[in-house]
Amino acid sequence: AAKTFTGEFYSALDNERTRISSFYGPDAGVVWNGNPVSSGQDVSAFYAKMPPTKFDVQSYDAQPIQPDGRGSCSFLLAVSGQVRIGPESAPMRGFSDTFVMKPDAKEPTRFLIATQGFRLVV
């Protein structure tokens, strides 16, 4: 689940931001580089205003958190790599992104972002 999510999420950020809200649970909380972003439409609007990006995921790690009683389990996902924000001439910068992923109540084999904390690395 972590590998699939990581590939699809960062690809959507780079190429299909109109899909980005489908990755978030209805009450998801996001903190992007220290700035809180509310859930729902605010997340979509936030990413829509962001300059173009190119993410290069270099590592990820997932750890189970808590079973949901239906045979699935929430998990913590830590992702790191480099990102270019802005034109192709912009430098790549390190990033760290941490997620709590919860099973979708309607489709327990699918996971949605419950919380996300993104940081650019100095």
Per-residue pLDDT of the chain (122 residues; tens, 9 = 90+): 899 999 999 999 999 999 999 999 988 999 999 989 876 668 888 898 999 999 999 999 999 997 766 667 899 999 999 999 999 999 999 999 999 999 888 887 889 999 999 999 97
The secondary element (H helix, E strand) that includes residue 59 is strand 53-67
Q: Model-level pTM?
A: 0.90
Residue pLDDT, tens place only, 55-82: 999 999 999 997 766 667 899 999 999 9
The CATH class of the 1-120 domain is alpha beta
Letter for the amino acid at 108? Answer: P
Burial of 102 per CB tally in 10 Å (0-12, 13-18, 19+)? buried
Residue labelled with tokens 């205003």: 49
Query: Residue ranges of the alpha helices (H) in the chain?
Result: 2-15, 41-49
Residue-range domain boundaries for the chain: 1-120
